[in-house]
Structure 1
Amino acid sequence: MASLDAVSLTILLGAVLVMAGILSSLLALRFGAPLLLVFLLIGMVAGDSGPGRLSFDDVRTTYLVGSVALALILFDGGLKTRFQSIRAVLAPSMVLATVGVLLTALITAPVAKYALDLNWIEALLVGAVVASTDAAAVFLLVHAQGLRLRPRVGATLEVESGTNDPFAVFLTLMLVELISSGASSFWHVALEFGREAMFGAIVGVIGGRLVVLALNRVALPQGLHAPFVATAALVIFGSAQIAHASGFLAVYLAGIIIGNRPTRAHNSVVTFLDAATWLAQIVMFVLLGLLVSPQRLVSSAVPAVIVALSLMLVARPIAVFFCLAPFRFNWREKIFIAWTGLRGAVAIFLASIPMLVGLSKAYLYFDVAFVVVIISLLLQGWTLAAAARRLHVALPRSDRGPRRVELDLPGQLEQQLVGYSVRPKSLFFRRGLIPSWSKPTLVIRDQRILSPAEADPVAAGDYIYLLAPPEKAEALDRFFVDMAPSSAPDPHLLGDFMVSGEHTLGELAEIYGVTVDTEQSKLTLSDYFDVHLDHAPKEGATLALDSIVLVARNLSGGRVNVVGLRLPEEEEEAGHLTRMASLKRKLSEIWSSVAGT
Structure 2
Amino acid sequence: MIQEVLQSNQNIFLIALLLVSSVLVTKFSSRLGVPSLVLFIMVGMSVGSDGLNIIYFNNAELAQLIGVMSLVIILFEGGMQTKWGAMKKVLAPSITLATLGVLLTSSMVALLAKFILDVSWLEAFLVGSIVGSTDAAAVFAVLKGKNIRNKLGATLEAESGTNDPMAVFLTITFIQLLTEDSSSILGTIMLFFWQMGAGAIVGLLLGYISSFSLNRINLDSSGLYPLFAIAFALLSYSISSLVQASGLLAVYITAVVIGNSELAYRYSILRFNEGFGWMAQILMFVILGLFVFPSEVFTADIMWKGILISLILMFLARPIAVYLSLVFFRYTNKEKVLLSWSGLRGAVPIVLSIFPMLAGVENSQLIFNIVFFIVLTSALIQGSTITWLAEKLSLVSDKLSNPVHSLELISIGKANVEIIEFDVSENNRIVGEKLENMDLPDKALINAIIRDGDIITPYGQTAIQAGDTLYVTVSRRVKKQVQELLKEVNGSAEEVIE
Q: Would you say same fold, with TM above 0.5?
A: yes
Q: Does structure 2 conserve the Cα–Cα contact (< 8 Å) formed by 1:404 and 1:419?
A: yes
Of 453, 461, 472, 1:466 maps to 472
1:254 and 2:254 aligned: yes
Question: Aligned AA for 1:189?
Answer: T
Output the CA distance in 2 between the equivalents of 1:426 and 1:79: 27
Unaligned runs of 5+ in 1: 479-527, 539-597
1:353 alignment counterpart: 355
1:32 and 2:38 aligned: no
1:476–1:183 distance in 2 versus 1, CA, 3 Å? farther
Q: Report the 3-state secondary structure (helix = DSSP H, G, I; strand = E; otherwise coil) of the residue aligned with 2:361.
A: coil
Cα offsets for 1:239-291 (capped at 9, x unmatched): 21122111111111111222222232122111111111110011000000011
Cα offsets for 1:517-560 (capped at 9, x unmatched): xxxxxxxxxxx94496453389xxxxxxxxxxxxxxxxxxxxxx
Identical columns (%): 35
Q: CA deviation at 1:35?
A: 0.5
1:224 alignment counterpart: 224
Using structure 2 for the length normalisation, give the TM-score.
0.87
Output the CA distance in 2 between the equivalents of 1:7 and 1:110: 49
Q: Report the 3-state secondary structure (helix = DSSP H, G, I; strand = E; otherwise coil) of the residue aligned with 1:382.
A: coil
Output the CA distance in 1 between the equivalents of 2:415 and 2:320: 47
Cα offsets for 1:71-130 (capped at 9, x unmatched): 122222222223221121111100000110011000000221111111011111101111
Output the CA distance in 2 between the equivalents of 1:311 and 1:470: 49
1:101 and 2:102 aligned: yes
1:114 and 2:119 aligned: no
1:163 alignment counterpart: 162
2:238 alignment counterpart: 238
Q: Does structure 2 conserve the Cα–Cα contact (< 8 Å) formed by 1:443 and 1:462?
A: no
Output the CA distance in 2 between the equivalents of 1:124 and 1:32: 33
2:21 alignment counterpart: 20
Q: Does structure 2 conserve the Cα–Cα contact (< 8 Å) formed by 1:433 and 1:530?
A: no
Output aligned runs, 1:63-74, within 5 Å. Answer: 63-74=64-75
Output the CA distance in 1 between the equivalents of 2:492 and 2:320: 45
Output aligned runs, 1:561-576, within 5 Å. Answer: none
Output the CA distance in 1 between the equivalents of 2:33 and 2:413: 45
Q: Report the 3-state secondary structure (helix = DSSP H, G, I; strand = E; otherwise coil) of the residue aligned with 2:420.
A: strand
Q: CA deviation at 1:195?
A: 1.5
Output the CA distance in 2 between the equivalents of 1:75 and 1:258: 10
Q: CA deviation at 1:417?
A: 2.1
Q: CA deviation at 1:61?
A: 1.4
Output aligned runs, 1:498-537, within 5 Å. Answer: 529-530=489-490, 533-536=493-496
1:88 alignment counterpart: 89
Bigger relative contact order (CA 8 A; separation at least 6)? 2
Q: Report the 3-state secondary structure (helix = DSSP H, G, I; strand = E; otherwise coil) of the residue aligned with 1:419.
A: strand
Output aligned runs, 1:419-458, within 5 Å. Answer: 419=421, 431-432=432-433, 440-443=445-448, 452-453=458-459, 456=462
Using structure 1 for the length normalisation, give the TM-score.
0.73
Q: Does structure 1 conserve the Cα–Cα contact (< 8 Å) formed by 2:402 and 2:423?
A: no
Output the CA distance in 1 between the equivalents of 2:273 and 2:486: 22
2:173 alignment counterpart: 174
1:406 and 2:412 aligned: no
1:473–1:293 distance in 2 versus 1, CA, 3 Å? farther
**Mean Cα deviation higher: 171-180 or 122-131:** 171-180
Q: Report the 3-state secondary structure (helix = DSSP H, G, I; strand = E; otherwise coil) of the residue aligned with 1:394.
A: coil
Question: Aligned AA for 2:27?
Answer: L
Q: Report the 3-state secondary structure (helix = DSSP H, G, I; strand = E; otherwise coil) of the residue aligned with 1:311.
A: helix
Q: CA deviation at 1:305?
A: 1.2
1:55 alignment counterpart: 56
Question: Aligned AA for 2:257?
Answer: I
1:15–1:190 distance in 2 versus 1, CA, 3 Å? same
Q: Which structure has the larger Rg?
A: 1
Output aligned runs, 1:300-339, within 5 Å. Answer: 300-339=302-341
Q: Does structure 2 conserve the Cα–Cα contact (< 8 Å) formed by 1:409 and 1:417?
A: no
Output the CA distance in 2 between the equivalents of 1:142 and 1:99: 23
1:293–1:86 distance in 2 versus 1, CA, 3 Å? same
**Mean Cα deviation higher: 365-374 or 97-106:** 365-374
Cα offsets for 1:9-37 (capped at 9, x unmatched): 12221221121111110111233221011
Q: Does structure 2 conserve the Cα–Cα contact (< 8 Å) formed by 1:417 and 1:465?
A: yes
Output the CA distance in 1 between the equivalents of 2:308 and 2:13: 40
**Mean Cα deviation higher: 311-320 or 195-204:** 195-204
Q: Report the 3-state secondary structure (helix = DSSP H, G, I; strand = E; otherwise coil) of the residue aligned with 1:89.
A: helix
Q: Report the 3-state secondary structure (helix = DSSP H, G, I; strand = E; otherwise coil) of the residue aligned with 1:13.
A: helix
Q: Does structure 1 conserve the Cα–Cα contact (< 8 Å) formed by 2:78 and 2:140?
A: no
Q: CA deviation at 1:137?
A: 1.7
Output the CA distance in 2 between the equivalents of 1:413 and 1:196: 43
Unaligned runs of 5+ in 2: none
Output the CA distance in 2 between the equivalents of 1:389 and 1:461: 26
Cα offsets for 1:440-468 (capped at 9, x unmatched): 431389xxx99843895799999842257
Q: Report the 3-state secondary structure (helix = DSSP H, G, I; strand = E; otherwise coil) of the residue aligned with 1:392.
A: coil
Q: Does structure 1 conserve the Cα–Cα contact (< 8 Å) formed by 2:93 and 2:326?
A: yes
1:26–1:402 distance in 2 versus 1, CA, 3 Å? farther
Output the CA distance in 1 between the equivalents of 2:73 and 2:479: 23
Q: Does structure 1 conserve the Cα–Cα contact (< 8 Å) formed by 2:433 and 2:463?
A: no
Q: CA deviation at 1:225?
A: 0.8
Q: Does structure 2 conserve the Cα–Cα contact (< 8 Å) formed by 1:165 and 1:248?
A: yes
Output the CA distance in 2 between the equivalents of 1:184 and 1:430: 66
Of 333, 340, 346, 2:342 maps to 340
**Mean Cα deviation higher: 434-443 or 406-415:** 406-415
1:417 and 2:419 aligned: yes
1:395 alignment counterpart: 397
Cα offsets for 1:53-82 (capped at 9, x unmatched): 421111111111111111122222222223
Cα offsets for 1:308-339 (capped at 9, x unmatched): 11011110001000000011111111111001
